[in-house]
A and B are shown apart, each in its own frame.
Chain A
Amino acid sequence: MSTKIEPLVNDGYAGEPAKRALQYIQSQREQGGAVVGVYCSYAPLELIRAMGGVPAVLCAFANKTVEAAEVVLPANLCPLIKSSYGFIITDTCPFFALSNAVIAETTCDGKKKMFELISTYRPMFVMDLPQLPDQKESQENWTVMTKKLRTFLEATFNRKITDESAEAEIKDTNMKNDMMNRIFDFAALKPSVISWNELYDLTFLAIPARGGDIFPLLEETIKKLEARVNEGVFFGKVDSPRVLITGCPVGGDATKVFRIIEEAGGVMVAVDNCTGMKLFMDRIEEDTDDPLAAIARRYLKIHCSCMTPNTRRLTELDKMISRFKPDVIVDVILHACHSYNVESYKIKEHAKKVHGLPYLKIETDYSQGDVEQIRTRVESLFDSI
Chain B
Amino acid sequence: MISAGIDIGSRTIKLAVVENGNVILTRIKANSYNPLEVCGEILEDVKYDAITEIKAFAIGVRKVCPECRTILDIGGQDTKAISLNDTGGIDKFEMNDKCAAGTGKFLEIMATALGFTLQEFIEAGLSAEKSTAINNMCTVFAESEVISMVARGHNRAAIARGIHETICRRSVAMLKKVDIIGKVAFVGGVAMNSCFSNILRQEIGPALFVPEDPQTVGALGCAYIKTTKES
Contacts and interface: CB of A to CB of B under 8 A. Distances in A.
Contacts of A363: 97
Nearest to A335: B97
Contacts of B95: 373, 376-377
A384 B97 contact: no
Nearest to B57: A380
Interface in A355-385: 363, 369-370, 373, 376-377, 379-380, 383-384
A344 to B, nearest CB: 11
A377 B52 CA distance: 8
Nearest to A361: B94
A383 B98 CA distance: 22
Given A370-B97, A373-B95, A373-B98, A384 B90 contact: yes
Interface residues of A, number: 10
Given A363-B97, A370-B98, A380 B52 contact: yes
Interface string B68-101: 0000000000000000000001111101011000
A211 B97 CA distance: 42
Contacts of A379: 52, 54
Given A379-B52, A380-B93, 6 more contacts: A363-B97, A373-B95, A377-B95, A380-B52, A380-B90, A383-B52
A370 B91 CA distance: 23
Nearest to B93: A380
17 contacts: A363-B97, A369-B98, A373-B95, A376-B52, A376-B54, A377-B93, A379-B52, A380-B52, A380-B54, A380-B55, A380-B93, A383-B51, A383-B52, A383-B54, A383-B90, A384-B92, A384-B93
Contacts of B97: 363, 370, 373
A377 B92 CA distance: 11
Contacts of B52: 376, 379-380, 383
B145 interface: no
Contact residues of B: prevailing secondary structure: mixed
A384 B98 contact: no
Interface in A234-281: none
A363 B97 CA distance: 8
Nearest to A264: B52
State the 4 A-B residue pairs at the shortest beta-carbon distance, nearest first: A380-B54, A384-B90, A379-B52, A380-B52
Contacts of B54: 376, 379-380, 383
Nearest to B84: A384
Interface in A28-83: none
Interface core residue of A363, A376, A379, A384 (most chain B CB under 10 Å): A384
A384 B89 CA distance: 7
A373 B92 CA distance: 16
Highest count of chain B CB atoms <10 Å: which of A369, A370, A376: A376
Contacts of B93: 377, 380, 384
Interface in A141-172: none
Tell me which of B51, B52, B97 has the highest count of chain A C-beta atoms within 10 A of its own C-beta. B52
Contacts of B89: 384
B53 interface: yes
B175 to A, nearest CB: 16
A380 B95 CA distance: 11
A352 B190 CA distance: 31
Contacts of A380: 52-55, 90, 93
A369 B99 CA distance: 11
A384 B87 CA distance: 12
Contacts of A383: 51-52, 54-55, 90
Nearest to B97: A363
A370 B78 CA distance: 13
A370 B54 CA distance: 17
Contacts of B90: 380, 383-384
Given A383-B90, A384-B89, A384-B90, A376 B98 contact: no
Interface string A94-109: 0000000000000000
Interface in B164-223: none
A380 B92 CA distance: 9
A370 B89 CA distance: 26
Contacts of B91: 384
A23 to B, nearest CB: 37
A363 B96 CA distance: 11
Of B53, B89, B91, B98, most buried by chain A (CB within 10 Å of CB) is B98
Interface in B150-171: none
The residue in A363, A370, A379, A380 that gathers the most chain B C-beta atoms within 10 A of its C-beta is A380
B93 to A, nearest CB: 6
A376 B77 CA distance: 14
Contacts of B98: 369-370, 373
Contacts of A376: 52-54, 95
A383 B51 CA distance: 9
Interface in B1-58: 51-55
A158 B228 CA distance: 74
B105 to A, nearest CB: 15
Contacts of A370: 97-98
A373 B95 CA distance: 9
Interface in B80-134: 89-93, 95, 97-98
Which of B51, B54, B89 is packed against the most chain A CB atoms within 10 Å? B54
B137 to A, nearest CB: 15
Contacts of B92: 384
A376 B89 CA distance: 16
A376 B55 CA distance: 10
A383 B57 CA distance: 12
B165 to A, nearest CB: 26
